[in-house]
Structure 1
Amino acid sequence: MEYIRVRNRGPLEGRVTISGAKNAALPILAASLLGTEEIVLEQVPPLKDVEVMVDVLRALDVKVEYLDAETIRIDASQVNKTVTPGELMNRMRASFVVMGPLLTRLGRTFTQMPGGCNIGKRPVDLHLKGFKALGAEIDEEPDAVGAKAPDGGLVGGKVYLDFPSVGATQNIMMAATMARGESIIENAAKEPEITDLANFLNKMGAKVRGAGTSTITVQGVKKLHGARHVIIPDRIEASTFIVAAAMTGGTVEVQNVLSAHIRPILAKIQEVGVRIEENDDDTILVQSTGRLKATKIRTLPYPGFPTDVQAQFMALMCIAKGQSHVEETVFENRFMHVDELNKMGALIVTDGNEAVIRGVEHLVGAKVNATDLRAGAALVLAGLVADGETQVHNVFHLDRGYYRFEEKLKGLGADVERFVE
């Protein structure tokens, strides 16, 4: 087992370049199942989750070739398998989005229920509701699910999502690309990753309108071809480094970031007393001086404050002057990092989906466990400002969502090393 050792070395200083967005790359890789010609994807982050999705594609007879570390060439012209491997599906929840492409292209699909971080219930009922609206017949088993299109293929329909689920919006949107007629998704997720997927689909010949709004319309086409596409920057990675700079009192230039995608983060960072300067379309300068001030956050679907930055921001709140408050409205089990932060001297009390944080002057190093991907990042950030040495264990979670995390931190002057126990 590996762990990351972190020591306080003072303010972070320098420049960091943000990688492509994992949460955009995964559905776009799944969407490549729809293409009948060559596809080239650039700025694909070489992460564990991406490796799993590539393995899923290869198991479905897709040819995948790495042109370099972050560029992938894909040939899905010979896809004819409809059953996805259970072992791979159990490793990552996002793998479930291959159902929509397989269903619309091959007429049927069968898979085990997906796995992923244990941060709360993330049912697939909205995905299945969408497939049914397109005419699919659903066969549910205790640990697996299948879907079959009617003779002649899926038919355009209308679906209202009870919650603006990102995965359901993506899966239904992809299924609708080759359904006969027009499909409408209401109360759709608005995340930038949805828009990036729609842009990619349209490059392949799909007719998707309204991505990034609450209503997405898809006019079905008979066939999708190839495309070349650059994955958008990872807004969660960018937010993590912005928080790290703020916590350590540093000055960091964050490059390859789209500020429009992280407005709630920038607003809260400024609220706690950090200076933000947007130098051009893809660079943000973070300058932190003096002790941070307490604040309140409430996680919400995009464009609200992202649940994927809640843990990192809570780490910041631990050392902010005054009493901060967090309300988690997206996942019911996303406070598992609280006990670990308290081991480091934080003063956090939770009640249901709310947490109250009383800021302390100093955190102290401790041996802690990353309970999920973003919790792991939060604990590393806490270690950057703690007295003594912090050991973050179960760091395989981090490898699912951050490319060269320690290397990038070290480039900013952090004392961060990975060890094998």
Structure 2
Amino acid sequence: MDGEKFIIRGGKKLSGEIRVQGSKNAALPVLAATLLVQETCSLSNIPLIRDVGTILEIFKSLGSKITWTSGDLTIDNSDISNFAPQSDYVRLLRGSVLLLGPLLARFGEVLMPYPGGDAIGARSIDSHLEGFRALGADVSVGEDHFLKIKAPRLASGKPKLIGAKIVLSESSVTTTENLMLAAVLAEGETRLRLCAAEPHVQNLALFLNKMGAKINGAGTPSIDIKGVVRLKGVEHKIISDSDEAMNLTLLGAASRSDFYIRDINPDFLEAGIQKLKEIGVALEIGNDFLRLKPPSSIYQSFKIQSGLYPKLLTDQIPPFSVLATQAQGTSLIHEWMYEGRLGYINELIKMGANAVIMDPHRALIVGPTPFHGAELKSLDVRAGMTSIIAALVAEGESILYDAFNIDRGFEKLDERLRKLGADITRM
């Protein structure tokens, strides 16, 4: 196999503290929102990950001027005149779909191929396109899967989207975000219903309102947006990554370790924390930290299902499978959203897990079972993190290929884990 890999020697208890990075899922829509203004925006707590680097390459191809130092980024989109993002980068990143809304709002037109990203299900963008049509846009899809979207023209001849009431066909996070991005400069009022309420949706609304947008209801199923003529450049801090926080919590639980996770918002982790307490995980929770403690008894088996916020999110579910292998009894993992996401279960079976994939959405795991080292694949961002957790629990040496998938979503993860005492080396 080509590319970088991780060599992991597991079976050690971890200790110390680790800080959670800025949220990838919050950073991408906020970056997309900067396309709406012809002024400079200053962003902090941007995660240093491959997916952010990819979307910034798309911005540069459009004409953006970017300065990125550590987690601080300034972006000036005043000279952009191009509404056709570079295809090669778009096909690498699912999050590039978020460029459709702001480019359409700013230029009245966008030309772009279907986005790429993780291969974890069909992941249709039909709900995005339905929303743009409801705002008056003409949407066409070529045989080569190139999207061409045009806003209607006002009496003045200027292309501009028209506000409308839109009932989403699914409570999709990126659809909610994309329609917010499109509607803030639309003519009149837009009322979105059956919206996603995730923390990063709320963070995007906060950023847009700082810029001068008029958005009410973010964090609820109903979002109302009054279109404005223009927006301004502002400063903004990206929220911490609640998905990473939950993944790290599961690392501590599965390895029966004692360490602190800093820079978190416990309010965004309530569903996961409640489930972990039911399983028997010992936790100490503060205003902005969480501490894992060694358990006093064996974990109890459980049933878990991904859902819409405030339920457990799909990106938080995979590492629960490792915890299930260390629990007494039969556990059920139900991935409600994506039919292709359970491939990581096969990687755990290589390490000794007693597990079976029942159908594309459900797996049964019987525990407890000891883990041994194995050669593993990082199938996608969250599957890769799950394999790292499993390898740190296992006795012996594991090799995890395709490290780039980890780098897509986690900032210098191997370096940060080594500070906890993990034996993990990049090769």
TM-score range for the pair, normalised by the shorter chain length: over 0.9
Per-residue CA distance 1:165-189 (angstroms, 9 max, x = gap): 1111111100000001100111011
Q: Which of 373, 380, 401 pairs up with 2:388?
A: 380
Asked whether 1:299 is paired with 2:306, we answer yes
Match of 2:335 in 1: 328
1:20 matched to 2:22? The reply is yes
1:291 CA displacement: 2.7
Distance 1:160 1:317 in 2: 38
How do residues 126-145 of structure 1 correspond to structure 2 at under 5 angstroms?
Answer: 126-142=127-143, 143-145=145-147
Q: Do 1:9 and 1:414's aligned partners in 2 also have CA atoms closer than 8 Å?
A: no
Matched-pair contact (CA < 8 Å) for 2:353–2:369 = no
Could you report, residue by residue, the CA deviation over 1:193-214 in whole angstroms, capped at 9, with x for unpaired residues?
0000010001111111111100
- CA offsets 1:73-129 (integer angstroms, 9 cap, x no match): 011112211111110110001011111001111110010000000000111111011
Could you say which residue in structure 1 is the equivalent of 2:157?
A: none
Is 1:411 the equivalent of 2:419?
yes
Q: 1:365 aligns with which of 346, 370, 373?
A: 373
2:225 equivalent to 1:223? no
Residue-pair matches, total: 417
Contact in 2 for aligned 1:20/1:232 (Cα 8 Å) = yes
Contact map agreement 2:354 2:369 (CA 8 A) in 1: no
Choose the corresponding residue for 1:60, options 59, 62, 65: 62
Q: Secondary structure at the match of 2:327?
A: coil
Is 1:283 aligned to residue 285 of structure 2? no
In the TM superposition, what whole-angstrom CA distance separates every residue of 1:334-355 from its partner, at most 9, and x where no partner exists?
A: 1011111100000111111111
Please name the residue that 2:106 is paired with: 105
| 2:268 counterpart of 1:261 | yes
TM-score of the pair, normalised by structure 2: 0.96
Q: Is the 8 A contact 2:17 2:261 kept in 1?
A: yes
> 1:62, 1:375 → 2: CA distance?
33
1:135–1:154 contact (8 Å) kept in structure 2? yes
Separation in 2 of the partners of 1:409 and 1:291?
Answer: 25
Q: Please report how far the alpha carbon of residue 9 of structure 1 lies from its aligned counterpart in structure 2 after TM superposition.
A: 4.2
What residue is the counterpart of 1:122 in the other structure? 123
Q: Does structure 1 conserve the Cα–Cα contact (< 8 Å) formed by 2:5 and 2:399? A: yes
Contact 2:11-2:395 within 8 A present in 1 as well:
no
- What percentage of residue pairs aligned between the two structures are identical? 35
| 1:288 Cα offset (Å) | 2.6
CA distance in 2, matches of 1:212, 1:119: 26
Cα distance in 1 for residues equivalent to 2:294 and 2:149 = 52
Q: What is the SS of the residue equivalent to 1:114? A: coil
Q: Distance in 1 between matches of 2:127 and 2:148?
A: 14
CA distance in 1, matches of 2:23, 2:64: 22
Unaligned runs of 5+ in 1: none
What are the superposed Cα offsets for residues 8-43 of structure 1, whole Å, 9 maximum, x if unpaired?
242211111001000000111011001121100000
Counterpart residue identity of residue 394, structure 1: D
Detail structure 1 runs of 4+ shifted over 6 Å in the superposition: none
Amino acid at match of 1:401: G
Q: Over aligned residue pairs, what C-alpha RMSD do you find?
A: 1.0
**1:198 equivalent in structure 2:** 205
Whole-Å Cα distance in 1 between the matches of residues 425 and 277 of structure 2?
Answer: 30
Within 1, Cα distance between the matches of 2:286 and 2:108?
49
TM-score (norm 1): 0.97
Aligned to 1:400: 408
Indicate conservation of the 8 Å contact 1:9/1:413, yes or no.
Answer: no
AA paired with 1:257? I
Structure 1 match to 2:218: 211
Contact 1:208 1:216 (8 Å CA) reproduced: yes
Q: Is the Cα–Cα contact under 8 Å of residues 318 and 346 in structure 1 kept in the other structure?
A: yes
- Deviation string, structure 1 residues 207-239 (Cα, Å, up to 9, x no partner): 111111001111000001101000000011111
Q: In the alignment, is the contact (CA less than 8 A) between 1:100 and 1:175 conserved in 2?
A: yes
Q: Once structures 1 and 2 are overlaid, which stretch shifts more, 135-144 or 181-190?
A: 135-144
Instruction: Return the alpha-carbon distance in structure 2 between the equivalents of residues 412 and 9 of structure 1.
Output: 13
